[in-house]
Amino acid sequence: MIGVACERARLPHLIDQPFILASDDGIVKCASPEARAQGIRRGLNTTTAVALCEHLIVLPYDQSAYTEAAETIWDVIAVETSSVEPIDAELCYAEFDGPAVIERINALAASIAQRLEIPIAVGVGATKLVARAAAQRSQPQTADSYVVAVGPGDEAQALTPLPLAFLDAIDAKLHQRLTKLGITTIGALHAIPPGELERQVKDPLALRLRRLAVGLDSSPVRRLWPQATIEQDYIFDDEVRQEQAILQALQKCSADMAAKLRACGKYCRALALTVQLADGAYVQEKEYLYSPTHDTVTVFRIAGRLLNRLRIRQAIQQVRLTASGIDAGGAVQLTLLNPMNGQDSFPHERQISLNAELCTLRRRYGPTSVISAALLQQSHAIHLWTYALTKRHNERVRVITDPNGSPIRCFRNLGYRQGARHETQQGGNQIEIWRVTDRWRAAAWSWGKIVETDAYRVMTSTHGAYELQRIGDEWRLRGIAD
């Protein structure tokens, strides 16, 4: 319900009005209490929601704004317990122990509800699955909190009326198969004889589903909030305007921060620069990294980039560099789809992010660990003009290389006779290669299996850019750009 509070703070005319917050694909993410009174629930499509409420207002779901607002709630919860696991702006898990747990949770929920002036639904159970089910039953309509607790031994009864979609382990294909058998609720799933369930799904998944149906969820509450941060600041003796002095301060902060990260064997995934201006105001800029780092040069380069984005026009009193998303280097957080934290990004920025993560995966798990979907289908005429080098090819060529294996000359339009390759009377069309601009290793689909290839991006003397690929002893021309 944090989205409801945010929108009513931004748009006061929404108070006492039924409205929903919908995702880009038209699914209800959150509904106001007035809309919930009309039967609208999370997960419905907007068409059904509008049919249930004639005067319903539909607004887009602003994920980044709601998450920023929810961080204050997570901070309040983190005061009471050290195990806080935010899932999204609307859902958060926390683990409580000690005496008077229910009384403490009631007081905490009432405090949050009073601060936000929206209803707070709280569920208490032995596992995360049971607690979420209890929270769904706890649906107050007024700006208050309501706590539902599921006692030991009542887990299966609490889950019985819930639909199968409540279990994340059931994908769309399995959901459709079970629905055809008349199994639409978790209670019906629990009532299936073990042998019948194992005939429908594989043995490990069947055992997991039976455990989930009675509330046995082995997933612990992870300690994800508050996020670990490392701060390094520099206070100037006098107000500073010279860029060189500011960069020297940032360089010192970057070196100290990188040393702290390396000392504990950690990497950071985000950097923020906060600057205190001469008038006492603070400005901040943040960047999420393509790959985790603890390198001094990389941290300083990003700090300089953040400083340029701030476009400061007055003197500076203090600079502070903050590293967040700190974790061990082995646990790399991929940023394939959202490198700009919900903001729009350019295609080349997304491509840079994608290439960085693919390199990380292939370096750790091998060159064939990630396969492009384009390699799994044969080229078709409609695809010929959609390649990155203007025109896509798959032509066998003969290439002469230097002692280091780099191509220096290419022959096209080779002839064939009696199954053996031979050159034409002119020896094929000879093309001189005057520079290799890029080289990389990739995985390709060849003769029904995945093979490792060497790819070269080269500049030719008369035909523009070529992309050459070597598979074993064979060379192929994969792309051309004029």
Name the token pair of 84: 């806080």
How many other CB atoms are found less than 10 A from the CB of residue 417?
Answer: 7
| 336 pLDDT tier (thresholds 50, 70, 90) | low
Between 408 and 341, the more confident residue is: 408
Structure confidence at residue 206 as a pLDDT band (50, 70, 90): confident
* Helices and strands (H, E) in the chain, number of each type: 14, 20
Q: Place 145 in a pLDDT band, splitting at 50, 70 and 90.
A: low
- Can you give the pLDDT at residue 368? 67
Name the percent of the chain lying above pLDDT 90: 24
Average pLDDT over residues 200-228: 84
Cβ–Cβ < 8 Å for 49, 27: no
Question: Which residues, 6+ apart, have CB-to-CB distance to 442 below 8 Å?
Answer: 367, 452, 453, 455, 469
Mean of pLDDT values over 289-295: 85
Which of the two residues, 200 and 161, has the higher pLDDT score?
161
* pLDDT of 426: 47
Angle, alpha carbons 380-384-390 (nearest 5°):
165
Higher pLDDT, 386 or 469: 469
pLDDT mean over 209-233: 87
At residue 384, does pLDDT exceed 80? Answer: no
**Comparing C-alpha atoms, which of 275, 277, 301, 297 is closest to residue 287?**
301
More confident residue, 125 or 443: 125
Rounded to the nearest 5 percent, the helix, strand and coil shares of the chain are: 35, 30, 35
Q: How far apart are CA 431 and CA 409, in angstroms?
A: 6
Which residues, other chains included, contact 416 with Cβ-Cβ below 8 Å and sequence gap of 6+? Answer: 422
What pLDDT sits at residue 372?
67
Q: Is the pLDDT of residue 414 over 80?
A: no
Residue in 284, 277, 282 with CA at minimum distance from that of residue 317: 277
- From CA 322, how far away is CA 314, in angstroms rounded? 22
